[in-house]
Amino acid sequence: MEGERKAGYQPPVARLLTMGESERISPEQWPDYHELGIGPEQIPDLIQMATDEALNEASSESPEVWAPVHAWRALGQLRAVEAVEPLLELFDKLQDDDWVHEELPEVFGMIGPAALSLLAAYSADLSHLDFSRIGAIRSMEKIGKRWPDARSETIAILEERLKRFEENEPHVNGFLVVALVELGAKEAAPLIKRAFAQG
């Protein structure tokens, strides 16, 4: 099984299979994967690795279980818009994986404004798990913070979602409010008050 997983990837992406454990660090402290020779031409293989079920379920003692983490970090550094949709699927598929919920919002934040429309659609889709939708909300907050030119668009999307507070679970509304506050959206204050007033 281990040999089969390794055989599916070629250098330089294959090097991510042996990098092993990482600490919970800010994106500014992530390794520079470009230094490993990883560039835009590796995006399809990185997407495959980040979403590789066998790797994500590998033994917690193996270095390979960390390969998807390194792959999605590299995709963030490459601002790989084509990775947004497949990475979003991980929120539901790996709902119990803390790394997914902590790091993917950072990755989407790095990818930037081009990810907003897909994140908005995902957060509005009630078929997704609540915590998955919260992941998308946090991702949009990261984009609004990292990309000042996208702040207004991000706030508008979050406000539109909060206007439908009656169809959201309370904790989803809570994260929408937090995101708006974090983005300094004073214009959203009346809407926030109305949501609170309605319980």
Q: Answer whether residue 7 shows pLDDT above 60.
A: no
What distance in Å separates the CA atoms of residue 150 and residue 141, rounded to the nearest whole number?
10
Q: 11 exposed, middle or buried (CB, 10 Å; 0-12, 13-18, 19+)?
A: exposed
Q: For 183, which DSSP code?
A: T
Between the alpha carbon of residue 134 and those of residues 36, 107, 158, 176, the distances in Å are 33, 15, 11, 8
Between the alpha carbon of residue 130 and those of residues 39, 57, 166, 171, the distances in Å are 34, 23, 14, 8
Domain boundaries, the chain: 1-78, 112-199
Q: What is the pLDDT of residue 198?
A: 84
Token pair recorded at residue 127: 């078929």
Q: What is the pLDDT of residue 4?
A: 43
What distance in Å separates the CA atoms of residue 101 and residue 92, rounded to the nearest whole number?
10
Q: What is the pLDDT of residue 71?
A: 98
Q: What is the pLDDT of residue 46?
A: 98
Model confidence over 172-196: pLDDT tens digits? 999 999 999 999 999 999 999 999 8
Q: What is the pLDDT of residue 3?
A: 46
Q: Answer whether residue 52 shows pLDDT above 60.
A: yes
Model confidence over 110-142: pLDDT tens digits? 999 999 999 999 999 999 999 999 999 999 999
pLDDT bucket at 1, cuts 50 / 70 / 90: very low
Return the half-sphere exposure (C-beta side, CA atoms, 13 A cut-off) of residue 129.
13
For the residues of 55-71, what is the DSSP string, one character each?
Answer: HHTS-TTSGGGGHHHHH
Q: Answer whether residue 2 shows pLDDT above 90.
A: no
Taking all residues of the chain, what is their mean pLDDT, rounded to a whole number?
95
